[in-house]
Amino acid sequence: MMDAAARRQLAADIDAAARLTGDFVLRSGARANEYFDKYRFEADPRLLKRVAQAMLPLVPPETEVLAGVELGGVPIATAMSLLSGWPTAFVRKQPKAYGTCLAVEGGDLSGKRVVIVEDVISTGGAVRDAKARLDDAGAITIAVICAVWRGGGPAQIEGLDLPVLPALTLDDLKAASTR
């Protein structure tokens, strides 16, 4: 686990890399003068490595496979795999329409204990969808790990009876922000 100072520094660095100011249209259609671009911290190899290192201690020891959720969970799961040696699977939003036509890539997951890896979770909709695809692939999902929990209150996803283990929370980012 990260000590408090390392946690504050990682939160500050993620916030500095990902919080943008300008004129943005949000998914809801509303306009905002600030936007959190999660791909900014995933695209920086030094910051991505630190995020992966912060998430690794959260992985339950019985884990057999890390499953990155398309798109943001894939680079983090890959970085975690490189650092730990755990194999990785990739969960698509939709099965690909050619070749193997799979929704879950990376080998047979039947009966394997899998941890879902995501970058930022607000409501958990993508994680619920990924869990359903992993179930269809025969995986046994045991936990969800994310870089940043942006949902309010304790980290839990409605409709999923799984532990949600965040490296950081929205409150961590707010507390570390210099803006």
Q: Give the separation between CA 2 and CA 157, rounded to whole angstroms.
A: 24
Q: Is 174 annotated as a binding residue?
A: no
114 annotated as belonging to a binding site for a ligand: no
Q: Is 128 annotated as a binding residue?
A: no
Q: Are 91 and 104 in contact (CB under 8 A)?
A: yes
Is 122 annotated in a binding site? The answer is yes
131 is in an annotated binding site: no
179 annotated as belonging to a binding site for a ligand: no
Residue 96 annotated as lining a ligand binding site: yes
Judge whether 93 is annotated as a binding position. Answer: yes
The answer to the question of whether 119 is labelled as a binding residue is yes
Of 153, 124, 123, 154, nearest in space to 141 by CA: 124
Give the closest residue to 66 by CA, choosing from 84, 92, 98, 88: 88
- The response to whether 121 counts as a known ligand-binding position is yes
Residues 69, 130 contacting (CB under 8 angstroms): yes
Tokens of 70: 């398309």
Q: Are 136 and 110 in contact (CB under 8 A)?
A: no
The answer to whether the beta carbons of residues 14 and 40 sit under 8 Å apart is no
Residue ranges for the known binding site for orotate are 122, 150
For the annotated binding site for 5-phospho-alpha-D-ribose 1-diphosphate, the residues are 27, 92-93, 96, 118-126
